[in-house]
Amino acid sequence: MSTDWKQRPEGGGLFALWLIRSIGRYGGRAVSRLLLYPITLYFLIRRGPERLASRQWLDRALGRPATLWDVAKHIHTFASTILDRVFLPGDGPERMARRFDVDVTGLDVLHRHLDTGKGMLLFGSHLGSFEVLRVLARKRPEYTIRVVLDRAHNPAVTQLLEALNPEVAATVIDAGQDGPALMLAIQEAVQQGALVALLVDRAQPGAPTLSAPFFGRPAAFPTAPWSIAMALKAPITLAFGLYRGGRRYDLRFEHFCDALDVPRAQRGARLAELVRNYVARLEAVARSAPYNWFNFYNVWEDAARGHADAPHTDPAARRDAEPADVGSVDRA
């Protein structure tokens, strides 16, 4: 499947999401979760490419041949986090505490930086739920959190979330705009002291990537987020919102690097180092929560056959490159 993942049709559609929202609104989260079983069965039967990608991932992540039950558990975990998107944006602090049990670690470094009034970049992934990041906004409402999100991708989910919480929707930076406009929007948010969140593990079709070892095989990862960080000279924190079943989440923050003030001649080598270090952390966390991996395509395929930017796999080829590939930032 590779990076043609954007061509896959959106699962369910607006009606299905509206139905889940309506049942959740009147019946609560517990009743809504009963729908996850037929939804899981539907995807298990009807979505062959995703089913295959799940099995390929789990074979490596589990270190053994994945069973059909493993694949079903994988899909059910994904469906659970999608359902919780209905509840997380609109819950106040007290209601969220009753509905969810979120164990938060690593906030001390994040607090110390943001309390200075300076902005930073928060890099997430399609590992677990990025929506659980809203817990941070509830704990420290004085923080401004801006999420980079392509409104045109998965429009049903986007419309639903905007209807659930217009205030949250207003903070979104639309990744669908052209590169210079997107770069300017992120830069302004960081300069205003905001925490700007991006997903950095999935490459856009045709976008520049670098290969890094991932579960024993080279995989292609996007360079655009790291180019943005170097251009803005912004510090980076990693975030992982891992779903642990039932009402439990682990929200982890990890300091990754300080402000990236990299001389032009060293950018290529530094870019490769950043990608390798990030992928190593991503693999370590993914090993602890393999069913939380929500990239339902073969993440190794592009590197195996040579991605569109094959020359970029050589750090020397990037040494004099300008960090301006912002149009290829992940827009999931």
Could you tell me the pTM of the whole model? Answer: 0.84
* pLDDT tens digit sequence for 212-245: 999 999 999 999 999 999 999 999 999 999 999 9
Say if strands 217-222 and 195-199 run parallel, antiparallel, or are unpaired.
unpaired
- The pLDDT of 47-60, averaged and rounded, is 93
* pLDDT tens digit sequence for 17-29: 666 667 766 777 8
* pLDDT tens digit sequence for 90-148: 556 566 767 888 898 998 888 888 888 889 999 999 999 988 877 776 667 777 888 88
Domain tally for the chain?
1
- The whole-angstrom separation of Cα 217 and Cα 304 is 9
Q: Are 37 and 1 in contact (CB under 8 A)?
A: no
Report the mean per-residue pLDDT for the chain: 81
Enumerate residues 6+ apart whose C-beta is below 8 A from 70.
55, 58, 62, 291
pLDDT at residue 94, rounded to an integer? 64
Tell which residue, 86, 106, 105, has the closest CA to residue 96. Answer: 86
- The whole-angstrom separation of Cα 278 and Cα 286 is 12
Query: Quick one: 166 exposed, middle or buried, by C-beta within 10 A (0-12, 13-18, 19+)?
Result: exposed
- The amino acid occupying position 88 is L
pLDDT at residue 323, rounded to an integer? 42
What letter does residue 65 receive in the DSSP assignment?
A: P
Please give the distance of CA 204 from its chain centroid, rounded to a whole number. 13
Concatenating the DSSP letter of every residue in 30-45 gives HHHHTTHHHHHHHHHH
- The whole-angstrom separation of Cα 212 and Cα 203 is 13
Q: Per mean pLDDT, which range of 51-65, 160-174, 292-306, 314-328 is the poorest?
A: 314-328
Q: What percent of the chain has pLDDT above 90?
A: 41
- The whole-angstrom separation of Cα 178 and Cα 143 is 27
Say if strands 248-257 and 101-105 run parallel, antiparallel, or are unpaired.
parallel
- The whole-angstrom separation of Cα 128 and Cα 12 is 20
CATH number at 146 reads: 3.40.1130
Say if strands 248-257 and 236-245 run parallel, antiparallel, or are unpaired.
antiparallel
Domain holding 264, by residue range, is 2-328
Q: Write out the two tokens for 77.
A: 């975990």
